[in-house]
Structure formats: C-alpha cells, structure tokens
C-alpha cells in the first residue's frame, strides 16, 4: 500500500487513522455482525453513532443550546435554495459575492425573492475580500449571506461583515473545523463535509432555533424544510448514514488532537510554510491579497501556463496529486485541509524549490 499526498479541493484527504479504524469495523461493527452501511438508521447502534457525532461536534465548536445541528443530504448546493425558501420572509436578502460558490448561492436566491449583491470582488477575479464594514444592507433584508472561505480563489473572511443587526448566513464548506468559530455570531453555518470533514454526501447545518419555523415560502418541498429535519433529529428519512459515521470518527480525531484551537495553530504553521515560500520564490507566486489568504486553499501560478502544466505533471509523478487549479482559474491550487499532514506541505515546498532551480 502506498498513499500519495492528496491536495484535492474536495472530496479531499481524510485522516489515515480514521480510514484504518473504518476498515477494521467494515465487516463487523462492534459485535453487531454487520457494517454500518448495512445497518438500520433506526437501530440502537446507529442511534448511538449519530448522537455521539452531534455531541462531539457540539463540544468541538462550542455550539450553544439554542442552535440545532442537522445532518442533511443534497450537498452545499442544495442549501443555496433551502436557505431562501426557509428564511426569506420578506423575500429580500443581501449577498456578498466573493467567488463562484457565493455567486451560485446568490443566483439561486433570485429564484425565490429579491437577492441583492451588496459587495463583490469580481472586479479582480475574486482575489480579495471586499470591505464589509459599512455595506448598504436594506433594512428589511431577511439575512446577509457570505461564503466564508472561497475554495476556488483561496480567500477567507478574517473578520465577519457588519450585518447591521441582520442574521448572518455562512457557507463554511471549506473551512469548517479548521479553527474555532463564535457560533453565536451566525444564524446559520453550513458546509458540505467533503472538504474538511468526511465523505461526500453529508451537509452539516448549524441553525439558530428561532430560524426554524413553519413559515416557509409556498411550495417548499417537505424535504427542504429545516423544521422537518430538526423535529425528526435528522432522521425524517434515511440519512447519509455511513457518511455521518465517518464524520463522527473525524470529530473524535479532532478532539484527540486538542480541538479546534490546536488545529488552528497547526493549520497556520502548515499554510505558513507554503506562503513563506511563495513570498520569496522567483518562479511561483500566490494570487491572493496577503491579508485575505485562506489557510485551507492556496492558489499559485508561475505566470506561464505551459510551465504551470509542466509543474502539475511533474508534481503528480513525484506523488503530489490534484494540484491543478480550478478549471475556471487555471494555475495551481494546494488544498491543505485538517487531514493534510505538515510533512505533505514541507515535501511539496522542497519539490517546488527543486522545480524552480530546474526551470528558472
Ligand atoms: C465545494 C463547495 C460547494 C459545493 O458543494 P457541493 O456539496 O458539491 O454542492 C459550496 N460551497 C463551497 C464553499 C464549496 O467549497
């Protein structure tokens, strides 16, 4: 067996310890004689799995009692619709457009009401986070929406926008659990788990209780109502059972590593190695304004497309996979989520130095 360094933006690298444990439990989960995949989601064994997963996530993120945790399906993209359907009481919402995912959410919201773009960084290919300290947010907006970490462009909101008292809704798909967050600042935090937590197929929604109501837009399908899932404790229908089980293991892995404060320290050190090199390199350079750099997704270029392609190819041959930038932006991108070991980044930088010496 040999594992490569996987810099994929998602689905992405998972902790080896978690994969090994899951492998050991594959045929017989703790004396049940079956795999978690084969188990009723109404069974006692599964009830323990999903309850423990929620309890561990609550502990990790310090989620207050007046927030509910939902394990749903449909990916982050389904939330683009579910959020306006459930929250747009005045049919109006403010969107901060800092990349493709925010833009998609903004466009989807337009199907349900008046979505207003109150800030954007499209003018410089989303390479920075706009000033959001004094935005023109309509008084009757139902919420303000952000994508907190922009997976494709490698930017991150290091301070939250001034919502002027409005509910903040945030897509944390690619930064959830990478650092502590103050949950009380948000109305909804959500994320697809396939970036920084677990296998594709699960989306986690952390929602303040007062936002869970029966007063949703007419025609909202049953499956897209937060209240249905909250009332049924994520077991209204069959949940993505195996995925939630793996997420639960990752939560325990994070707790064992010292929780989110420790992860933040580790992630800063890890990303720092790569950013320091990019700042001094004669060949490679980062594409994001320094103060807005993500700790999770690091895009970079040589400035020469042929050289970029050569780098991606040679890196792959050397055991560094999925370094090609998003198809919409080109260049390279190293996604260095929680489960990417620091050695992976150290070795990548060594390889980049060698490539630079050979190609400068
Ligand atoms: C990947 C990603 C999405 C889309 O996730 P799906 O689960 O594929 O729908 C949305 N937002 C962000 C920030 C992402 O990184």
CA 21 to chain centre: 24
| Count of CA atoms in the C-beta half-sphere (13 A) of 266 | 21
- Position 34 scores a pLDDT of 98
CA 186 to chain centre: 16
Catalytic residue among 195, 249, 270, 324: 195
Catalytic residue among 56, 171, 292, 308: 171
Residue 223 burial (C-beta neighbours within 10 Å; 0-12, 13-18, 19+):
middle
Task: Supply φ then ψ for residue 333, to 5 degrees.
Answer: -150, 125
Match 């920084």 to its residue by tokens. Answer: 196
Q: What atom in ligand 1 is closest to the CA of residue 200? A: 7
Nearest-CA residue for atom 11 of ligand 1: 101
Enumerate residues 6+ apart whose C-beta is below 8 A from 286. Answer: 154, 275, 278, 279, 293, 298, 299, 300
- Position 197 scores a pLDDT of 98
Distance 293 CA to ligand 1 centre (A): 19
Confirm whether 101 is a catalytic residue: yes
Does residue 234 have its Cβ closer than 6 Å to ligand 1? no
Q: 0.85 cut: is pTM over it?
A: yes
Does residue 6 have its Cβ closer than 6 Å to ligand 1? no
- Position 1 scores a pLDDT of 72
Distance 173 CA to ligand 1 centre (A): 6
Distance 192 CA to ligand 1 centre (A): 6
CA 6 to chain centre: 17
- Position 165 scores a pLDDT of 98
Distance 32 CA to ligand 1 centre (A): 35
Please count the other Cβ atoms lying within 10 Å of the Cβ belonging to residue 335. 24
Does residue 61 have its Cβ closer than 6 Å to ligand 1? no
On the question of a cis peptide bond just before residue 11, with omega within 30 degrees of 0, the verdict is yes
Enumerate residues 6+ apart whose C-beta is below 8 A from 213. Answer: 86, 227
Nearest-CA residue for atom 14 of ligand 1: 173
Does residue 248 have its Cβ closer than 6 Å to ligand 1? no
Q: 3-class SS at 245?
A: helix
- Position 76 scores a pLDDT of 98
User: DSSP for 101-137?
Assistant: HHHHHHHHHTTTSEEEEEEE-GGGTT-S----SS---
Q: Name which of 300, 302, 303 is nearest 323 in CA terms.
A: 300
Cβ–Cβ < 8 Å for 22, 15: no
- Position 329 scores a pLDDT of 84
Nearest-CA residue for atom 10 of ligand 1: 76
- Position 29 scores a pLDDT of 98
Does residue 192 have its Cβ closer than 6 Å to ligand 1? yes
pLDDT tens per residue across all 360 residues of the chain? 789 999 999 999 999 999 999 999 999 999 999 999 999 999 999 999 999 999 999 999 999 999 999 999 999 999 999 999 999 999 999 999 999 999 999 999 999 999 999 999 999 999 999 999 999 999 999 999 999 999 999 999 999 999 999 999 999 999 999 999 999 999 999 999 999 999 999 999 999 999 999 999 999 999 999 999 999 999 999 999 999 999 999 999 999 999 999 999 999 999 999 999 999 999 999 999 999 999 999 999 999 999 999 999 999 999 999 999 998 888 999 999 999 999 999 999 999 999 999 997
Cβ–Cβ < 8 Å for 88, 112: yes
Distance 356 CA to ligand 1 centre (A): 33
- Position 97 scores a pLDDT of 98
Does residue 198 have its Cβ closer than 6 Å to ligand 1? no
Confirm whether 158 is a catalytic residue: no
Q: Could you tell me the CA-to-CA distances from 230 to 72, 79, 163 in Å, in that order?
A: 10, 15, 26
- Position 208 scores a pLDDT of 98
User: Residue 94 pairs with which residues in a beta bridge?
Assistant: 116, 144
Enumerate residues 6+ apart whose C-beta is below 8 A from 144. Answer: 93, 94, 95, 96, 118, 135, 137, 161, 163, 166, 167, 168, 169
């Amino acid at each position: 067996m040999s594992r490569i360094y996987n810099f994929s933006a998602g689905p992405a690298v998972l902790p080896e310890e978690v994969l090994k444990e899951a492998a050991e439990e594959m045929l017989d989960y703790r004396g049940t004689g079956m795999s978690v995949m084969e188990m009723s989601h109404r069974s006692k064994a599964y009830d323990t799995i999903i309850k423990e997963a929620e309890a561990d996530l609550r502990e990790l993120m310090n989620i207050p009692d007046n927030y509910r945790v939902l394990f749903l399906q449909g990916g982050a993209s389904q939330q683009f619709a579910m959020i306006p359907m459930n929250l747009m009481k005045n049919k109006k919402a403010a969107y901060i457009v800092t990349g493709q995912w925010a833009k998609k959410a903004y466009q989807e919201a337009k199907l349900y009401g008046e979505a207003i773009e109150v800030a954007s960084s499209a003018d410089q290919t989303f390479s920075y986070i706009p000033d959001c300290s004094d935005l023109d947010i309509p008084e009757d907006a139902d919420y303000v929406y952000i994508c907190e970490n922009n997976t494709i462009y490698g930017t991150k909101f290091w301070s939250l926008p001034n919502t002027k008292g409005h509910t903040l809704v945030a897509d944390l798909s690619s930064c959830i659990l990478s650092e502590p967050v103050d949950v009380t600042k948000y109305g909804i935090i959500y994320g697809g788990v396939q970036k920084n937590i677990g296998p594709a197929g699960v989306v986690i929604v952390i929602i303040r209780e007062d936002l869970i109501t029966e007063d949703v837009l007419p025609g909202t399908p049953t499956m897209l109502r937060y209240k249905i899932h909250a009332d049924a404790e994520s077991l209204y229908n069959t949940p993505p059972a195996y995925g939630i089980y793996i997420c639960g293991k990752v939560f325990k892995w994070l707790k064992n590593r010292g929780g989110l404060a420790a992860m933040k320290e580790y992630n800063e050190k890890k990303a720092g190695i790569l950013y320091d090199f990019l700042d001094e390199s004669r060949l490679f350079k980062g594409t994001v304004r320094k103060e807005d750099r993500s700790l999770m997704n690091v895009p970079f270029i040589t400035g020469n497309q042929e050289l970029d392609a050569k780098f991606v190819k040679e890196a792959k041959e050397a055991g560094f996979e999925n370094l090609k930038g998003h198809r919409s932006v080109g260049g390279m991108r190293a996604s260095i989520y929680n489960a990417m070991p620091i050695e992976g980044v150290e070795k990548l930088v060594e390889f980049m130095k060698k490539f630079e010496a050979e190609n400068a």
